[in-house]
Amino acid sequence: MYLEIGADIIVQSHGDITNNDLIKNNISYITKLIRKEKIDLGNKDILKKHLVNIECLKLNF
């Protein structure tokens, strides 16, 4: 829905001010995660979050 609005700046209630690029990247990540496709895990912070996401998927699917 955020992408359909066409806003240049998005203020989240639970995070930093962002833009459509972050939303597109998150959608791409989630799609790859669900399809079990290769994901570039550029740094340790992203790797930690990714491992938590994998565990959550195991519990819910």
Domain coordinates in residue numbering, the chain: 2-60
Q: What is the pLDDT of residue 28?
A: 92
- Assigned token pair, 36: 């079990």
- Assigned token pair, 54: 């994998």
Find where tokens 């806003």 sit. 7
At what angle are helices 20-35 and 44-60 packed, to 10 degrees? 50
pLDDT (tens place) for every residue of the chain, 61 residues total: 878 888 888 888 888 888 888 889 889 988 998 898 988 888 888 888 889 888 888 887 6
Whole-structure pTM value: 0.69
Q: What is the pLDDT of residue 61?
A: 62
Q: What is the pLDDT of residue 31?
A: 92
Burial of 10 (0-12, 13-18, 19+ CB in 10 A): middle
With a CB cutoff of 8 Å and minimum separation 6, the contacts of 7 are: 20
